[in-house]
Structure 1
């Protein structure tokens, strides 16, 4: 399974929802970068994604977006393919 990285914060409900969805899909390890606890992490995230809200999720090197984007990929049947490539 491909590596998953998620920019997140501890108090973010959408981050928790994204993590639950990924775990249901069999992702055992998510590399979480907590923007509220790591100095400079939000700025790095914004440079990489052009977005300032969390979560911001990467599957491998592909930026898939936030929770709504992740859920839409799952609904369209494309998430499993991305995770297993």
Structure 2
């Protein structure tokens, strides 16, 4: 799968790590990580784009998936792999 995945994350975020592990288990090799703890401007951009303050915030292609719980729910419902293939 060649989906472009972006994860807004911080250095010590267990849900960010779990999201990355789940995506890698689905064959996603390239994950663009944007560390909002290192760049406050990126935190502001994330909050403007998503309306959320927490990490991770995950994009698959142009679609905002949400956080880890949202990503896990997509996987549980069988919707994650089609999304990754179509992104």
TM-score tier after normalising by the smaller chain length: over 0.9
Q: Distance in 2 between matches of 1:38 and 1:21?
A: 25
Q: Distance in 2 between matches of 1:8 and 1:82?
A: 21
Q: Which residue does 2:65 correspond to in 1? A: 64
Q: Distance in 1 between matches of 2:42 and 2:23?
A: 22
Corresponding pairs, count: 85
The answer to whether the aligner puts 1:46 opposite 2:47 as a matched pair is yes
Q: What are the superposed Cα offsets for residues 42-63 of structure 1, whole Å, 9 maximum, x if unpaired? A: 1000000000000000000000
Q: Distance in 2 between matches of 1:33 and 1:9?
A: 8
Once the two structures are TM-superposed, the CA of residue 2 in structure 1 deviates from its matched residue by: 1.5
Once the two structures are TM-superposed, the CA of residue 39 in structure 1 deviates from its matched residue by: 3.1
Q: CA RMSD in A?
A: 0.6
Q: Which residue does 1:22 correspond to in 2? A: 23
Ranges of 4+ aligned residues in structure 1 off by more than 2 Å:
none
Please list every run of 5 or more consecutive structure 1 residues that lacks an aligned counterpart in the other structure.
none
